[in-house]
Structure 1
Amino acid sequence: MGDILFLAHRMPFPPDRGDKIRAYHLLRHLARNHRLHLVAFADDPDDLRHQDGLAAYAATRTIVWRDAPTVWTGARALLQRRPVSLVAFADPAARRAVDALLAAEPIETIFLFSSQMAQYLPPAPRQRVIMDFVDMDSAKFAAYAEGGRGPMAWVHRREASLLLAHERRVAGAADASLFVSEAEAALFRARTNASHVYAIENGIDTVFYDPASRFEPTGGAGPLLVFTGQMDYRPNVEAVTWFADKVFPRVRLAHSAARFAIVGRAPTQAVQALAERPGILVTGTVPDVRDWLAAAALVVAPLQLARGIQNKVLEGMAMARAVVASPAAAEGIDHAGTLCVAEGADAFGDAVLRLLDAPDTATALGAAARARVIARYSWDARLAPLDALLEAPARQRHQRGGVRGDRLVPGRYDADHERRR
C-alpha cells in the first residue's frame, strides 16, 4: 500500500484536547496498514517536548511552530480577501515540507485534518485526497455572527462567508469529505451540495477512561460538578459563564457545600474571575483530568454552541458519571437515554438538583452511560469505515485543477459521472 501524508493544524500528541484526540486516533488507525508522513503545526511549547510520542506512528515528522495570530494576521486576511482562519496557518516552511515529501516519497493519499490544511494541496494532486473537516467551521462563525453585534459581528459574517466558499472548493477537490457526526455531514451537504460526504464519529478509549482505575483525590467536601475543556475556546468560556450565572447559584441554595470545578488549560481572564465566586474552582492545566472526573458527583456540559460530537461528554460517560448536557452538547451522540439532556437554565438546574438529590439514580445513570460508550463508541469501530475509503480509486484530475491557498486553480475535475468546471 502507498504512503499517507497526514497534514494537521495542530500536533496530535499528546492527545489532551478534542481536536488532538481525534487526530491522534486517526493517525494511529492509519499507521496500522500504511507508512505515514506527518506535517503539523505546534502552538504550545509543551507539545514540542513530546514529539517522540509520534515516532511509533509516523515514519517522518515535521513539526512547524506557529505563533498566535496577531492584528497583522487579520490585516493580511483583509488585504488578500481570504479567511483569517487560513491566513493564520499559511506558512512557507510547512509548504516546503509538503512539497518535498510529495516529491521524494511514494505518497498515495493526502489526509487533511481541518480545512486550514487544504491550502497545502498541490494544484493537481495525483494522490487520493481525504479531507477531514471535523466540524463545519463556516457554520460556527455564522452562529458567532448571529449572537454578536457591532464590528465583531461583521468580522464573523465575513469569515463565515469566505470559509463556506473555501469549504465548497475543498470538497470539490477531495475524494471524500469527513465530519464528526451525521448531523454535521447533513448540514454540510445542505449548504454546499457536495457529494462524497461521510460521517466518521469520534470514539473513546474506555480502557484509559475506566472508573475502576486508581486516581488521585482532588480534595474538598461537598458534591462536585465538573466541566472539562480547553478554557480559552469561546464556546467553553460561554458555557461555564452561563452555568455560573444562571444555574450554579440555584444549586448552591439547595446544596450550600456544592462546588463547580472548571478543569482545563489556558483559562481566560473571564474564566479565572469566576473563581472569585463561592464554590467555583478554576484549575488550569491538571496532570490527569480523570482525577477530577472520578471525583465528580456530576459532569455538566452546558454548551450553548457546539459542533459535532463532544469528547468531554463521552469522557464523562466512560468514567461512569451522570452527565447533564445541553441539547447542543448532546447532539450527534447516540446515547440511548443515558445522558440527561436539558435545555434552558431552569430545566438544566432541575436536572442537576434532581440527580444531586438522588445519588443512587445518578450512579445508575453513570453506569448505563459507561455501558453505552463501550458498546457504541470504541475507536476501532468508529474508524473502521476509513479503510474502505482508502481502498477506493483516486479520482482523475486534469493537470491544472486543484486547490491552492483558498482559491480554486482553474481546471476541471471528473468524479464518477459528475463534472465540475
Structure 2
Amino acid sequence: MNILYVTHRMPYPPDKGDRIRNWHVLRYLARHGQVYLASLADEPVPEQTLKVLRETAERVTWNPVEGFSRKLRALNSALAGRSLSEGMFRSPSLLETLRQWVGTTRFDVVVCSASSVAHYLQLEGLEKAIKCVDLVDVDSRKWQDYADSAVVPKKWLYRREARTVSRLEREICQWAQSVTLVSEAEAELLRSQVGSCRAAICSATNGVDLEYYSPGETVEPKQPTLIFTGAFDYKPNIDGALWFCRDIWPGVRQKFPQAILQLVGRNPSPEVKALGSMPGVEILGTVPDIRPYLSAASIAVAPLRIARGLQNKVLEALAMRKAVVASPSALNGFGISTELPALTASTPEQWHSAIAQLLYDRELREELGQRGRQFAERNHDWNRCLEPLGKFFPVSTVNKLIQETAIVESGS
C-alpha cells in the first residue's frame, strides 16, 4: 500500500510537540506500507535529519517556507478570504513535486498533519485515495483563545484567523473520510462546531516513548528544583513562563529561599531570557537531552493558561516518574480522569500550596511519580494510541497490523 504523508513541519528530530506526534505517526504509517513523506520546514534541515527520514520513508521531499515569501503568501491568502495559516504553508515547489508523485504513483491513503496543509490532499489524481486529516487540535478555538487574551490590533488579527480556520475545519470535515484529534474533548468540540459531516471524527491521543523516557534511580536534588519544559518561542509557553515567574515564583522563593526554577527548551524568546535575572530562575534553553534535567528535578510544572490538546511535557514528566503540578488547561487533554496522578492549581495561592505540599513531603512526590509512570504505561503507549488513524485503511492492512501489534505486545 502506498501512503502519502504531508506535514507542515519536518517530523524529525522529535524535540517539540508537533514533531513528536508527526514522527510517531510516520513510523506508524511505515508499518502499514510505503510512505512518501512531503514536509515543509521553517528552519534549515540538517543532512542527518534527512538520513533518518529516508531510512523510515520510501521517498522524502521537503521545501522551505520562511522569510518574506512566506509572509507574502499569507497576505495573498488573507486577501482571498482564506486563513493566514494556509498561505504560510503553501509552497508551489512542494505542490509541483506532489503532482509528479501523483502522476507516477497510485496512492491508497493520503494523510496530513494539520488543517494548514490539508489542501495538498485535494490534488487532481487523489480522488480515489482515502483521505485522513490529523487536525490534532481545534486550531480555530486556539486562535479564539489568543484573541481573548490579546489587545488591539492583534485581537482583530487573531479573531479573523479563528473565523477563517473554523470555516476551513468545517470544509475538511465535508471531504475527508477521517479526522483525528488528540483527545476526546477536542473531538467533541469539533463535532459541536461542524455539525453533520462526511468525516468520521475521532480521537487518537498522544503517546510517550516509554523506553526513551525511562526513569533511573531517584536521586534527591541538593536544592528544591522545579522544571518547566517546552519550546519557549511558542506563545502559550512564553505566557506560562512569564505568569509563573511574576505571579507565583516569588511566593515559592519566600517559603523555599534555596529553590531553583529551570526553564528548559528550545529558542527562548527575549522575554523569557529576561526572566533569568530573577532570583533562582535559570534559563537553560536548548539542551541535547532533556532527560537528565527531568530526572534531577523535584517537581515538573506546567503553568499553561492557553493550551489545547494533550501536553507532551506532562506525559514526559509522568513517564520519568516526576511529581507534576499543572494548570487545568494543561491537563484538559487527559479528560476527566480520577486516576491522573497530578496536582492541579489555578490561582497563585493554589500553586504555592501544591508546590509546598510536594516539597515538604518526599514520600508523596515519589508516590505520585510512581503512579504517573504506571498511568503513562497503561494509557499512552504510541502503538495503541495511534490505532484510530488506521481505522479507514484497507481491511487487509489493518488486520495485518493488529496481528503484528499482538505479537509485539505478547513478546513472542
Q: TM-score, normalised by structure 1?
A: 0.88
Of 201, 205, 230 in structure 2, the residue corresponding to residue 197 of structure 1 is 201
For 1:264 and 1:155, locate their aligned partners in 2 and report how far apart those are by CA, in whole Å: 28
Summarize the Cα distance change of 1:10–1:48 in structure 2 as closer, same or farther, 3 Å threshold: farther
How many residue pairs get aligned? The number is: 389
Instruction: Give the residue type in structure 1 aligned to 2:274.
Output: A
Instruction: Give the residue type in structure 2 aligned to 1:112.
Output: C
Of 130, 134, 137 in structure 2, the residue corresponding to residue 135 of structure 1 is 137
1:147 is matched with 149
- Aligned-pair CA distance for 1:345: 1.7
SS at match of 2:228: strand
SS at match of 2:90: coil
- Aligned-pair CA distance for 1:47: 4.7
- Aligned-pair CA distance for 1:109: 0.7
- Aligned-pair CA distance for 1:79: 2.3
For 2:296 and 2:45, locate their aligned partners in 1 and report how far apart those are by CA, in whole Å: 27
For 1:359 and 1:171, locate their aligned partners in 2 and report how far apart those are by CA, in whole Å: 49
Contact 1:109 1:127 in 2 (8 A): yes
For 1:48 and 1:165, locate their aligned partners in 2 and report how far apart those are by CA, in whole Å: 38
For 1:118 and 1:178, locate their aligned partners in 2 and report how far apart those are by CA, in whole Å: 13
For 2:202 and 2:49, locate their aligned partners in 1 and report how far apart those are by CA, in whole Å: 32
2:178 is matched with 176
For 1:279 and 1:249, locate their aligned partners in 2 and report how far apart those are by CA, in whole Å: 10
SS at match of 2:284: strand
Q: Deviations over 1:152-178 (max 9, x none)?
A: 111011100011111111111100000
Segments of structure 2 that go 5 or more residues without pairing to the other structure are: 397-412
Q: Deviations over 1:356-397 (max 9, x none)?
A: 11122111111110011111111111112333321269xxxx
Contact 2:225 2:299 in 1 (8 A): yes
1:103 is matched with 103
Summarize the Cα distance change of 1:30–1:116 in structure 2 as closer, same or farther, 3 Å threshold: same
Contact 2:74 2:86 in 1 (8 A): no
Contact 1:342 1:348 in 2 (8 A): yes
The 5 Å alignment of 1:239-258 reads: 239-258=240-259
Instruction: Give the residue type in structure 2 aligned to 1:39.
Output: A
Q: Which has the higher contact order (CA 8 A, sep 6+)?
A: 1
Q: TM-score, normalised by structure 2?
A: 0.90
Summarize the Cα distance change of 1:47–1:351 in structure 2 as closer, same or farther, 3 Å threshold: farther
1:401 is matched with none
The 5 Å alignment of 1:216-365 reads: 221-333=222-334, 336-365=339-368
User: How large is the Cα RMSD of the aligned pairs?
Assistant: 2.0
For 1:387 and 1:90, locate their aligned partners in 2 and report how far apart those are by CA, in whole Å: 27
Identity %: 34
Of 379, 384, 404 in structure 1, the residue corresponding to residue 382 of structure 2 is 379
For 1:178 and 1:74, locate their aligned partners in 2 and report how far apart those are by CA, in whole Å: 26
Summarize the Cα distance change of 1:358–1:303 in structure 2 as closer, same or farther, 3 Å threshold: same
Summarize the Cα distance change of 1:68–1:366 in structure 2 as closer, same or farther, 3 Å threshold: farther
Q: Deviations over 1:23-60 (max 9, x none)?
A: 01111011112110000012222555411111232000
Instruction: Give the residue type in structure 2 aligned to 1:166.
Output: L
SS at match of 2:135: strand
SS at match of 1:282: strand
Instruction: Give the residue type in structure 2 aligned to 1:201.
Output: T
- Aligned-pair CA distance for 1:67: 1.0
Of 382, 388, 395 in structure 1, the residue corresponding to residue 391 of structure 2 is 388
Higher mean Cα deviation, 7-16 or 142-151?
142-151
- Aligned-pair CA distance for 1:232: 0.6
Instruction: Give the residue type in structure 2 aligned to 1:82.
Output: R
